[in-house]
């Protein structure tokens, strides 16, 4: 099994997270590094989505992954083994989210030289991660079909801060009462600008649409 670097994240001491997040974003801009914050419920398929996406992008961009979990290194090892991409594990020690300072602790352990894209896989939680700006350039979230199309009604903040909503596990649509059109309508209620991308991370269906979206964001970030 590949060795993955494990970072034990310390609680932040900064009081003004928004200011700290803006500073981090500016630093990333200066270095030409795009940071994506990827959020979702537990078990929505973040890791599988990441692996499919990374395999489509790894020849086009230099990428690093920071995998945040309360405990366990299972996903970080899986990502490194399946993609060969630089992956580090962030242990939050029970904490339910990452803020900008915690994200910075991770970035300090990534070799950023020449890196185009860093993906932060946030803690599996639809509530707290939405409340803390990580300093990311864009926010993405995954909603999986079995969770139901009503989630934008119940977790408004999460959907309102995300630039893209990936609807995963569309292969099991026939077995669940999930209405994709209603889902899109509810997402628009929370955030009219958010893009909705249906995918099946397991089979790869639709993952190219997300990969192209991400490629476009990285290019824009570097050119702006």
What are the residues binding a second copy (CB under 8 A)?
41-44, 69-72, 74, 94, 96, 123-128, 131, 144-148, 150-151, 153-157, 169, 171-172, 175-176
CA distance 165 to 136: 16
Q: Is 94 buried (19+), middle (13-18) or exposed (0-12) by CB count in 10 A?
A: exposed
In this complex, which beta carbon is closest to a second copy, that of residue 72 or of residue 220?
Answer: 72
φ, ψ (nearest 5 deg) of residue 130: -70, -20
In the complex, least distance from residue 180 CB atom to a second copy, rounded to whole angstroms: 15
In this complex, which beta carbon is closest to a second copy, that of residue 119 or of residue 126?
Answer: 126
In this complex, which beta carbon is closest to a second copy, that of residue 43 or of residue 220?
Answer: 43
CA distance 67 to 92: 10
In the complex, least distance from residue 153 CB atom to a second copy, rounded to whole angstroms: 5
By three-state DSSP, how is residue 136 classified? coil
In this complex, which beta carbon is closest to a second copy, that of residue 27 or of residue 171?
Answer: 171
In the complex, least distance from residue 194 CB atom to a second copy, rounded to whole angstroms: 17
In the complex, least distance from residue 192 CB atom to a second copy, rounded to whole angstroms: 18
Q: What's the token pair of residue 195?
A: 């893009």
In this complex, which beta carbon is closest to a second copy, that of residue 74 or of residue 204?
Answer: 74
**C-alpha distances in angstroms, 56 versus 30, 47, 59, 211?**
26, 14, 7, 7
In the complex, least distance from residue 64 CB atom to a second copy, rounded to whole angstroms: 22
CA distance 12 to 14: 6
């Amino acid at each position: 099994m590949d060795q993955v670097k494990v970072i034990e994240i310390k609680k932040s001491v900064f009081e003004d997270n928004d200011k700290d997040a803006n500073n981090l974003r500016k630093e990333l801009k200066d270095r030409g590094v795009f940071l994506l914050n990827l959020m979702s419920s537990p078990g929505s398929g973040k890791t599988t989505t990441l692996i499919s996406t990374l395999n489509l992008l790894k020849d086009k961009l230099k990428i690093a992954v920071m995998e945040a979990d309360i405990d366990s290194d299972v996903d970080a090892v899986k990502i490194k083994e399946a993609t060969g991409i630089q992956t580090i594990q962030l242990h939050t020690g029970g904490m339910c989210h990452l803020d900008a300072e915690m994200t910075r602790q991770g970035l300090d352990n990534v070799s950023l030289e020449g890196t185009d894209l860093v993906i932060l896989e946030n803690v599996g939680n639809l509530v707290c991660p939405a409340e803390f700006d990580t300093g990311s350039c864009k926010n993405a979230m995954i909603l999986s079909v079995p969770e139901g199309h009503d989630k934008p009604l119940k977790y408004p903040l999460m959907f309102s801060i995300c630039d893209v909503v990936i609807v995963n596990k569309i292969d099991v649509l026939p077995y669940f009462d999930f209405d994709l059109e209603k889902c899109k309508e509810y997402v628009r209620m929370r955030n009219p600008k958010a893009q909705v991308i249906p995918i099946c991370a397991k089979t790869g269906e639709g993952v190219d649409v997300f990969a192209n979206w991400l490629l476009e964001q990285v290019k824009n970030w570097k050119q702006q």
